[in-house]
Amino acid sequence: MDYRKRPLLCVIAFVILLAACKQDPSRAEFALGTVCSVTLFNEGNDRIYKEIFSRFREIDNLMSVNIAASEINRVNAAAGTSPVQVHGDIFTVIDRALYFAELSGGAFDPTVGPLVSLWGISGDNPRVPSPAEIDEIMPLVNWRDVEIDRVTRSVFLKRRGMALDLGAIAKGFAADEAAAIIRDSKIKRAIIDIGGNILVLGEKKNKSPWTIGIQNPNESRGVYIGILRITEPTAKPRSGEGYRPVQTVVTSGVYERHFEADGIVYHHLLSPSDGYPARNSLLSVTIIAACSMDADALSTAAFVMGYEKGRALIESLEGTEAIFVFEDKSIRKTEGVDFVLSDEKYRLVRD
Ligand code: AMP
Ligand code: MG
């Protein structure tokens, strides 16, 4: 070793160290109506972060009813008048939403738009509508009145006043799209968190299971009732180089959006059968699966269906698991869930 080179080597090492420290381990931005945070481990770089967040904004611009010029609003504005040709992304999501509408017997229904507006659920002034108001718009809520054409990629809402709302599925699609971008890069492991809906990609460095907190529905964000351990990727292992398993944990809970009127709490998970927030003894449903779009639709579907029907649906689907949290602080889960309860006010029940 040439000792005269030592200061130079020290400077180079310092610069490398500085660059490593500067590398942001995690980024967060507001998109899709919530805080989206992405953590790219080790090889996280600016280009991938930028690509992911611009993809989120792109999805938002297509699918958000709160963005005036969105494609979804174009489809809704043409309700009862004409089919609208749409971008492939939104077509994929609408097609899948209709699949889950049928699978859930209509509990999941992307045509809840008029009901969401009537209750003012996504705005600042929610209110309890009169029964007459609900009766008046109920004929507009029916997924069977959505016509899609796979050849022309067009969507037609048959009745004037109908409106699609993809709020229960679009965030899951966005998580899957972020995962696809990461998979195409050299990044080995990542966490995507879209408003509490989690997707983990790859394995932890020490091969220990990913651990994900399950939100306590009665407490503020980040207070957990227990920890879910992701031990087995439910995705079928694919051989080949660069394979990184993906697991997603998506929750629909009454705590996400709700308001109180005359001592009654009204939440945002609406029952398309009567037009009111689904009233069953549930506080939240968490789905664990490999596809975030499906898990997102299923968490909403299972919540609205209620425990018995919701559980039966989840158990009929391969590689899909669920945790149900009830008002009486009991918790039920499907067989394949590795969950460790930490809040002793709750109890895990087997039945
Ligand atoms: P999530 O948090 O994924 O369960 O989605 C809830 C959002 O989906 C609500 O804020 C509404 O915009 C919409 N929504 C409410 N009820 C339903 C339903 N029964 N089917 C489909 N979307 C719904
Ligand atoms: Mg959902």
pLDDT means over runs of 10, the chain (351 residues): 44 42 73 94 83 97 96 98 98 98 98 96 87 97 98 98 97 97 90 94 89 90 92 51 80 86 87 95 96 97 98 97 97 95 94 74
Span from the CA of 21 to the centroid of ligand 2 (angstroms)? 37
Span from the CA of 41 to the centroid of ligand 1 (angstroms)? 32
Please tell me the residue having the least CA distance from ligand 1 atom 8.
Answer: 168
Query: Cα(first)–Cα(last) distance of the chain, in Å?
Result: 70
Span from the CA of 300 to the centroid of ligand 1 (angstroms)? 6
Ligand with the closest atom to the CA of 295: 2
pLDDT at 43: 66
CA 278/CA 281 separation, integer angstroms: 9
Span from the CA of 191 to the centroid of ligand 1 (angstroms)? 24
Q: Cβ–Cβ contacts within 10 Å for residue 103, how many?
A: 17
Please tell me the residue having the least CA distance from ligand 1 atom 6.
Answer: 168
Please state the separation of Cα 242 from the chain's center in Å: 25
Span from the CA of 192 to the centroid of ligand 1 (angstroms)? 21
Tell me which residue of 331, 327, 326, 328 sits closest to 342, measured CA to CA.
Answer: 331
Span from the CA of 98 to the centroid of ligand 2 (angstroms)? 14
CA 335/CA 1 separation, integer angstroms: 61
Give the atom of ligand 1 at the shortest distance from the alpha carbon of 304.
19
Assigned token pair, 225? 């009732």
CA 114/CA 112 separation, integer angstroms: 6
Please tell me the residue having the least CA distance from ligand 1 atom 10.
Answer: 268
Span from the CA of 185 to the centroid of ligand 2 (angstroms)? 28
- The residues lining ligand 1, judged by C-beta closer than 6 Å to any ligand atom, are 108-110, 112, 116, 121, 165, 167-168, 252, 256-257, 268-270, 272, 296, 299-300, 304
- Judged by phi (left if over 0) then psi (alpha if -120 to 50, else beta), residue 240 lies in left
Give the atom of ligand 1 at the shortest distance from the alpha carbon of 109.
20
Is CATH 3.90.700.10 the right assignment for the domain spanning 196-348? no
Span from the CA of 306 to the centroid of ligand 2 (angstroms)? 14
Helix (H) or strand (E) holding 224: strand 224-230
Please tell me the residue having the least CA distance from ligand 1 atom 3.
Answer: 168
pLDDT at 351: 74
Please tell me the residue having the least CA distance from ligand 1 atom 22.
Answer: 168
Give the atom of ligand 1 at the shortest distance from the alpha carbon of 272.
19
Mutate to test the pocket of ligand 1, among 93, 96, 108, 112 (most ligand atoms within 8 A of CB): 112
Give residue 184's identity as a one-letter amino acid code: D
CB 314 within 8 A of CB 302: yes
Please tell me the residue having the least CA distance from ligand 1 atom 2.
Answer: 252
Mutate to test the pocket of ligand 1, among 34, 116, 287 (most ligand atoms within 8 A of CB): 116
Model-level pTM?
0.90
pLDDT at 10: 40
Span from the CA of 18 to the centroid of ligand 2 (angstroms)? 41
Q: Which residues surround ligand 2, an ion (CB under 5 A)?
A: 168, 296, 299-300
